[in-house]
Amino acid sequence: MGSTLFAPNAMIKLHKHDLPAGLDFGPVVAIDTETMGLDPRRDRLCLVQLSAGDGNAHCVQIIPPRLGGRGADCPNLKALLADPGVVKLFHFARFDVAILRAALGVECAPVRCTKVASKLVRTFTDRHGLKELCRELLGVDISKQQQSSDWGAAELTSEQLAYAASDVLHLHALWARLEALLRREGRFELAEACFRFLPARGTLDLLGYDDPDIFAH
């Protein structure tokens, strides 16, 4: 079951429980998540957003069985997340790969992260948030008005879905700009090594090794 929202310059498709069979996101799929909070060990996964970089977004609402849903019973979504032939592109992948492992029991790999890429190459600034990157690298202003809304609601609003979609619609374009900078500055291979480590970093967070961080002094 799903519904379609036509936002300015984008089509946003909402799916309950799982992706439809047969959807092809190409070799790189942009992914983001919405949750009930920022602790992947405690807070519930509510929505997974995906885009092929074509200006459209698919949003999968994850509803737990106690609320009448199917929870982690989403085989099409999980197959895509685990597909080694599809790169999963995130912004702040550390959190997303952790919550997806905790909620769906799947390891996302291979991954790329625009936040990590920005921190590696844009060392002249401390502004690495998605909103700032979209404005500074793409000239696009995205709204964060719905960031703290109730993502666990049974029915999500059109404003929530438009916000959720905005977090994946621009990631392909951002990555293209950041990849060019990484290669220009000779840090692309270092970035790739960081990306390979991100699934392990998410697992460490789930096991409680984020505080204190084992990489701290």
What is the block-wise mean pLDDT of the chain (217 residues), using blocks of 10 residues?
62 97 97 97 97 97 97 98 98 98 98 98 97 96 77 95 95 98 98 98 96 90
Residue 217, pLDDT score: 86
Q: Residue 43: which CATH number? A: 3.30.420.10
The residue among 175, 209, 177, 169 whose CA lies nearest residue 195 is 175
Domain count, the chain: 1
Q: Is residue 34 part of a domain?
A: yes
Whether 211 is covered by a domain: the verdict is no
Is residue 216 a part of any domain in this protein? Answer: no
With respect to residue 184, please indicate whether it lies within any of the assigned structural domains.
yes
Establish if 215 belongs to a structural domain.
no
E strand or H helix at 74: none
- 80 part of a folded domain: yes
Q: Is residue 213 one of the residues assigned to a domain?
A: no
**pLDDT of amino acid 10:** 80
Tokens of residue 80, six digits:
């895509």
Quick one: pLDDT at residue 148? 72
Which residue range forms the structural domain that includes residue 146? 2-206
Question: Would you state the pLDDT for residue 143?
Answer: 75
SS3 call for 45: strand
What is the pTM (predicted TM-score) of this model? 0.94
Residue 212 placed within a domain: no
- Tell me what pLDDT residue 113 has: 98
One-character DSSP codes across 86-106: SEEEESSHHHHHHHHHHHH--
